[in-house]
Amino acid sequence: MDTIASLFSFITTPVSWVIVQFHSVYGALFGPDTGWAWGLSIVSLVVLIRICLIPLFVKQIKSTRAMQTLQPEMKKIQERYKNDKQRQSEEMMKLYKETGTNPLSSCLPILAQSPFFFALYHVLNGIATGDTIGVINERLLESAQKAHIFGAPLAAKFTDGASKVDALGSSITDVRVVTAIMIVLMSASQFFTQRQLMTKNVDTTVKTPFMQQQKMLMYVFPVMFAVFGINFPVGVLVYWLTTNVWTMGQQMYVIRNNPTPGSKAQAAYLERLHKHVTQHGRIRRRSERAIVKAIVAKGRDRNEFERKFINGLSKAGLAAQPDGTVVKSETATVTETADGTPTPAAPRRQQPKRQPKAKRQAGPPKAAGESGASAAGSSTTAEPTSLRKSDQPEDAKPAAPKKAGQKPASGTRSKAQSGQRKGPQRPKSPSKK
C-alpha cells in the first residue's frame, strides 16, 4: 500500500494544503489539537472532491443506462459470433461507436477518486511515522498526532501493535473497537447502496448478464472493504465512510427524481407525477418536463408504467405534448393497449332506471285506438274458433257434470300437469312388500 501511495505523491501537496486550510477554520472552533478539527477537515475534503465529481457522476448514470439498453443487442452479437472472438469484439466496438457509449464511463468516479484516496493515505502514513509531508510542518505534525477520534489516533490502524499505539497516546482496545465499528459501517453503507440500486433502479423487463454482475458486486464490494479496511488508518476510514454515505444519499436522490425506465422506482415516480399533474393541471419542474418529453417521444416503445401514465392523463382529460408540457384535452379519451396501439375508450354503459313493481305488472300503457282495435280483433277471432272441427267423435256422449264434493278417480286426473302427456295415465305397478 505504501508503494502505491507513493505513486500519487505528486498530488499529496494539494491534498495536504486543502486539509490544512479546513483545519485552520475548524481549529478556531474546536481547538487545533482536537479530533473534531482534523476529522471534520477530512470530511470537508471528501465533500469538496465529490462536488467536483458531480459531472462525472451524471456521465456515469447516462453510461450505465445506455449499457443496460444495449444488453439485448450485445447478447445477440455474442450468440451470432460466439466462435469468432475477433469479429465479436469488432461488432461490439461498432455498436459502442454507433450509440456513443463507453463501458469505462461507469468507472469514472471511482477512478477519479483514486489519486485523492492514495494521497490522503500517504499524508496520514507520514503523520503516523512522524514525517513531514506536503505543507504539513512540524507544528501541524505534532498537532495531528495528538488528535483522537473517539479515543483512536488519526493515524492508527487495526493491525498496529500495542507499542505503536502507546506511542500515539492511546490503547489498543480503543483503536480496534473504533476501527472495527467504522469498517462495519463502511461495508454496510456500500452493501445498502448496491442493494438499493439492484432492487429499485434496474429495469425488471430485461434479464441480462449485466444484472448478474451487479448482483455479484453487491456482495463482493463489502467483503473487499472489510478485508482491506483493517490496513487503513482511522483518518482514511473517516474519508471512505464519508464518501460511501455521500454516494448512498446521491443514489437515493437519483432513484427518486430520475429513475431508470422500466424499474420499480420509475413506477413510483410516475405515480407521484400523475397525482401532482391531475391536481394542478400542469408540470412545473424542468426535470419533470424532460421525462414526460422522453416518454412522448418513445411512441409505441413505451413500457408498461409509461403507458399507464399516459392512459391516466387521458382519462383525467389531459394530454402530454411533445415538448413535455400537459394541456387539457377536449377530444375523446384515448388509451393505449399493451402493444402501444391507441384505442378510443368505450363509453360507459348506463343502467336503466328501475320501475316500481306495480308498473312492471301493469305492462306498457296502451293507446285508446289500440285498445279498441284489440277488442274488435278478439270478437272476430272468437267466431272461427267455434266453427272448428272437434277432435271428439260425434257419437261421443258429453261428459256428465261433476257433482259437488265428488273426488276424481284415482287413476285419472282432470287436467294434465305441466310436463305430463295428455290422456289416461299409465297405472303405477303395486309396490312389492
Taking alpha carbons only, the member of 163, 176, 192 closest to residue 230 is 176
Question: What confidence score (pLDDT) does residue 178 get?
Answer: 92
Cβ-based burial of 254 (10 A; exposed 0-12, middle 13-18, buried ≥19): middle
Average confidence (pLDDT) over 133-138: 84
Does the pLDDT at position 102 exceed 80? no
Query: Residue 177 corresponds to which amino acid?
Result: V
State the number of CA atoms in the 13 A half-sphere of 326 facing the CB.
Answer: 27
More confident residue, 132 or 37: 37
More confident residue, 168 or 370: 168
Question: What confidence score (pLDDT) does residue 182 get?
Answer: 92
CA gap 198, 215 in Å, rounded: 7
Give the confidence band of 185 by pLDDT, cuts at 50, 70, 90.
very high
The three cell numbers locating residue 308? 399507464
Cβ-based burial of 305 (10 A; exposed 0-12, middle 13-18, buried ≥19): buried
The three cell numbers locating residue 177? 473497537
Give the confidence band of 378 by pLDDT, cuts at 50, 70, 90.
very low
Percentage of the chain surpassing pLDDT 90? 7
Are residues 90 and 80 in contact, defined by beta-carbon separation less than 8 angstroms? no
Does the pLDDT at position 407 exceed 60? no
Does the pLDDT at position 398 exceed 80? no
Counts of helices then strands in the chain (DSSP H, E): 16, 6
Question: What confidence score (pLDDT) does residue 323 get?
Answer: 87
Does the pLDDT at position 27 exceed 50? yes
User: Nearest 5°: phi and psi at 262?
Assistant: 90, 0
More confident residue, 256 or 99: 256
Query: Residue 368 corresponds to which amino acid?
Result: A
Domains of the chain by residue range: 2-257, 264-342
Are residues 226 and 187 in contact, defined by beta-carbon separation less than 8 angstroms? yes
Does the pLDDT at position 255 exceed 60? yes
More confident residue, 212 or 144: 144
Does the pLDDT at position 199 exceed 80? no
Residue 327: strand pairing partners: 319
Choose the weakest-confidence range: 209-218, 346-355, 396-405: 396-405
Does the pLDDT at position 54 exceed 70? yes
Helix H or strand E encompassing 342: strand 342-344
Average confidence (pLDDT) over 6-27: 84
- The b-or-e profile of 47-69 (16+ CB within 10 A means b, else e) is eebbeebeebbeebbebbbbbbb
Helix H or strand E encompassing 320: strand 318-320
Does the pLDDT at position 212 exceed 70? no
Please state at what angle helix 108-129 crosses helix 138-146, rounded to 10 degrees.
100
Are residues 162 and 184 in contact, defined by beta-carbon separation less than 8 angstroms? no
Question: What confidence score (pLDDT) does residue 412 get?
Answer: 45
The three cell numbers locating residue 352? 336503466
Choose the weakest-confidence range: 159-173, 360-374, 382-396: 382-396
pTM: 0.66
**HEC sequence for 253-267:** HHHHHCCCCCCHHHH
CA gap 335, 307 in Å, rounded: 8
Give the confidence band of 338 by pLDDT, cuts at 50, 70, 90.
low
Give the confidence band of 21 by pLDDT, cuts at 50, 70, 90.
very high
Pairing relationship of beta strands 326-328 and 342-344 according to DSSP bridges: unpaired
Give the confidence band of 374 by pLDDT, cuts at 50, 70, 90.
very low
The three cell numbers locating residue 17? 494544503
The three cell numbers locating residue 25? 477554520
CA gap 77, 96 in Å, rounded: 12
Close Cβ partners of 408 (under 8 Å, ≥ 6 residues apart):
414
Q: Which residue intervals of 281-316 are DSSP H helices?
A: 286-298, 304-315
Close Cβ partners of 428 (under 8 Å, ≥ 6 residues apart):
none
Q: Which residue has the cell 408504467?
A: 305
